[in-house]
Amino acid sequence: MQRHSFILMTKLPNVKGRISYIKSSKKQEYLYATYDTADGSFWSDLARCNQTEFAKNGTTGKCIEARELIIALPESFTSYKENQLLKYFVDKFKDKYEVECVAALHHNKRKTNYHIHLIFSERRLLDEPTLKIATRNMFYDENGRHVRTKKEILDEDGNIRKKCKIIKKCEVYEKIIFDKKDVQFKQDDFLEKVKVFLTEEINMLVKNPDEKLKVFDRNGVYLPMKKIGKNNPKAEEIRQDNEERTRWNKSVDQALVSDVTEKEILEIKKEHIIKPVKESIEQQGNQPSLFRIILGKAISLLEKLIMKVKEDAIKVAEKVKEAVVTKEESNVQTVEAKASSVVENATSKDVKKNVRNNRMLDSANKNSTKEIERDSEAGKQKSEKLSDDFSENHLVELIEEPEKPDAPLLEYDVKKLLAIYDILQDKNEEIVSAQKRKNKKILELDNTSKFNIVKRNSLSVEIHNLERDIEEMQGELSDTVQKYGFDTVQSFMKVLQSVKKAVTDYQSDMKIWKEQCDLIKYSNDKILSGELTLDFAIELLEQKRYKVKTVKKDLNDIPKDNSFFGKLSRAKQRAEEDNQNREDKRYVRNRTIR
């Protein structure tokens, strides 16, 4: 299973002290390398600038002098040279965000966490310092605040108090060497962007594809797990919290398999987890027990939505089945009614007329067949002459058939994906069945008297066992997709939906292409027979919003219609041409006699 990258960002109120800590070999057990893109005076000036701006603004709280990123690296990166590895990541970060950095490469005590501490400035040095000149004497008190008059910095004896100062007219009272803090570092999505950027850089250096990392999507349907550090006093609380988060994630897997949309899941997550948790923290502080209660309610809502979607799907399937059966029955009844109507309304006159028509048709077919055979015996030379008369160079302009749509290049085998989906559906049916039994037991427990302790205890045990079985079966959904190489049920469902869409789109394109080809073939046949002009055929096709192109073809290359009606049509055309030739000869002979 693909691991998530770990990148943490913190605010630094004492940047010089933090730099000293991460670069000290005495304070760090395993310090491999350090790298600084600026000299020591830069960080001192940066701290002074931030403190000055903080005091000037009168903001409460702590002054943030810089920010730090802790970047966890794969253990395989120990094979790289430490100095080059650290310089690579620091230079990449500096090139992207154009800020000065200082960093150190560490290992923890047990050598299980290879990581980088990267401190960066939120301000940039100006190309040229901005100097502010006093236009009159300026007075500052012990706190560095500017006061209006000299009396405000004098003691009872009229002397200037300690740490108060006077800047005389025409002297520099402020030198600005940094610009304002870059607002992008304060934005909520900055850390997510940094995670994506640095994770991509890590994956570029990973040699084993199985070690590639991915960024956890906090805006997605799943909830992240909390890390339990060593000797954490809240380890038990975090463990219980993670159990509830796992329950939610397993319920999400079942919801996705049950064809609940991600939009609906995200709506429940937003309205029934994120908002209530935020309100709870604002009103009562951080209480993990309240979070677990909120999450339990959200899981119940998600289970109800799963049940509703399954019931709606069953109803739709039944309606479709009923509609198909009704349509078939109505078609049969219509055919029977028409047949009986024809039989009842048939008269002896109609029968005689039909017989006479059939005899006439048989006679015409026999005559046409004789004519076709006669023409075929002597028709080779005549057909060549007709072709020469039709076109001087044996070419005719027809409508070109469109190119056949290309089959989609699928990364996954459709049959394999559908087989996995069938397995998930079978498991989901078992889960839904167990959930229905659990709901019945819960309803039975609610209706049981409080004094019937034996029955209530028995029902509680059954409900607990069903909940445990449901959780195990929900976990099997994730295990199934991971067995076939997918990280999560969500990633599998996305792949399945994309493949289904590609196949459906291709089938739709093929259907349109076949219809267009059939129509163009029919139009070309009509053009060749003289029943339709090229311009009119193009106009008809363009009305159907087809993109029409024409092409010139050799008549000898056009396959002839060898069906009975095709031969009959050609024989009729030759007969009309022969009649026209006789009339032309008769006209010429009459003119000559006159």
Instruction: Tell me what the mean pLDDT of segment 426-440 comes to.
Output: 92
User: Do residues 46 and 52 touch, judged by C-beta distance below 8 A?
Assistant: no
Letter for the amino acid at 27?
K
Residue 569 pLDDT grade (very low, low, confident, very high; cuts 50, 70, 90): low
Mean pLDDT of the chain: 81
Instruction: Tell me what the mean pLDDT of segment 88-93 comes to.
Output: 96
Instruction: Tell me what the mean pLDDT of segment 84-101 comes to.
Output: 95
User: Do residues 139 and 172 touch, judged by C-beta distance below 8 A?
Assistant: no
| pLDDT for res 390 | 43
Cα–Cα distance for residue pair 504/510, rounded to 1 Å: 10
Token pair for 76: 């395989």
Q: Is 164 helix (H, G, I), strand (E, B) or coil?
A: coil
Exposure b/e, 86-105, CB count within 10 A at least 16 = b: bbbbbeebbeebebbbbbbb
**Above 90 in pLDDT, residue 77?**
yes
**Above 70 in pLDDT, residue 276?**
yes
| pLDDT for res 383 | 41
Cα–Cα distance for residue pair 486/495, rounded to 1 Å: 9
Cα–Cα distance for residue pair 162/553, rounded to 1 Å: 104
Compute how many other C-beta atoms are within 10 angstroms of the C-beta atom of residue 512: 13
| pLDDT for res 247 | 92
What global pTM score does this model have?
0.63
**Above 50 in pLDDT, residue 175?**
yes
Bigger pLDDT: 531 vs 342: 531
Planar angle of CA 169, 172, 174, nearest 5 degrees: 125
What are the tens digits of pLDDT across the range 334-349? 545 554 554 455 444 4
- Share above pLDDT 90 across residues of the chain, in percent, rounded to a whole number: 36
| pLDDT for res 329 | 66
**Above 60 in pLDDT, residue 380?**
no
Instruction: Tell me what the mean pLDDT of segment 317-327 comes to.
Output: 72
Close Cβ partners of 140 (under 8 Å, ≥ 6 residues apart):
146, 147, 153, 164, 165, 166, 167
Find the range with the poorest average confidence among 75-84, 145-154, 331-340. 331-340
User: Do residues 213 and 202 touch, judged by C-beta distance below 8 A?
Assistant: yes
Residue 97 pLDDT grade (very low, low, confident, very high; cuts 50, 70, 90): very high
User: Do residues 95 and 101 touch, judged by C-beta distance below 8 A?
Assistant: no
Angle at which helix 534-543 crosses helix 489-529, to 10 degrees, equals 150
